[in-house]
Structures are given as structure tokens and as C-alpha cells.
Amino acid sequence: MNTLDGRHLIVDSYCRNVELLSNAAALEIALHDIIKLVDMRVLVPATMVKVKLDPSKVYSGQDDGGITGVAVLSTSHISIHTWPQTSRFSFDIFSCNEFDYEKVIVFLNEIFELTAAVSYNFKRVLDPSTPTGIAWQEDL
């Protein structure tokens, strides 16, 4: 029976390279470098959107400003969300093809200088033969 498989890497992190978190052009280059690193094909290049800081919500967890960026890949997507005021970002990449997620984590560590991070690496499986049709397999 046919299954739909995929790999999904999610990284939530604090970092030392705060300047990168507020540099849309550099973040766009970083996303495209990761795409090349894992040998994926871009359908829609990365679009970066600066999210204006709402001073009344600084450090509230509701709005710390930053940048959101996403690129559409032939096999799915890659995205990043940054919060420079709190030195943190969230990143994810999903593909229905396998990719070397460890290379991506090493790359993120090198460019952002991670100080604390949590990564989630899932092998996603949609299998019609399971009772619910969905099975999650966590690798980490």
C-alpha cells in the first residue's frame, strides 16, 4: 500500500548572533544556503517580511518584532521566524524526500552561534493501513 513519507526538522533556539536575527537579506541568503546544503529545489524564492515591533508588547511574548521568512520547495517548505529583542528564532524545514538534518543543525549552529536549542526531527508517515491513517516516528 502507498504511504506518504517526509522528514520534518524544527529548531527553536536562542543565539549569540543577534545581528543576523534582524538582517532580512542575510536571513534570505542563509535559507538559500540551507536549501543548497540539502540539495533541494526552490519553486518560490525566500520572501522575508519584517514584523514591526509593538512597543506596548515588548517582552510580553505577544509581539517582540522580528522577521518571518519562507521559501517554497519542490518537496515542501523552509521557514524562519526571528525575535531579535529576545535573541531567539524558530526554524523548520519539511520535505517529502529524505535530507541530512544533522548538516542543517550544524549550519544553524555555525551561523547563529546557538546558546540553547531544542530540535525536533520527525519522520512523517501517512499510511492508509494504520487505523488512523497517520503515524509519527520521532527520531530524536
The residues carrying an active-site annotation are: 76, 81, 96
Query: Which three three-digit cell numbers place residue 85?
Result: 529583542
Tell me the residue type at 62: Q
Number of residues that make up the chain: 140
DSSP per-residue codes, 27-92: HHHHHHHHHHHTT--EEEEEEEEEEPP-GGGTTSSS---EEEEEEEETTEEEEEEEEGGGTEEEEE
Three cell numbers at 19? Answer: 545581528
Question: Ramachandran region of residue 100, left (φ > 0), alpha (ψ -120 to 50) or beta?
Answer: beta
The cell 544533522 sits on which residue? 102
Beta carbons of 65 and 51 less than 8 angstroms apart: yes
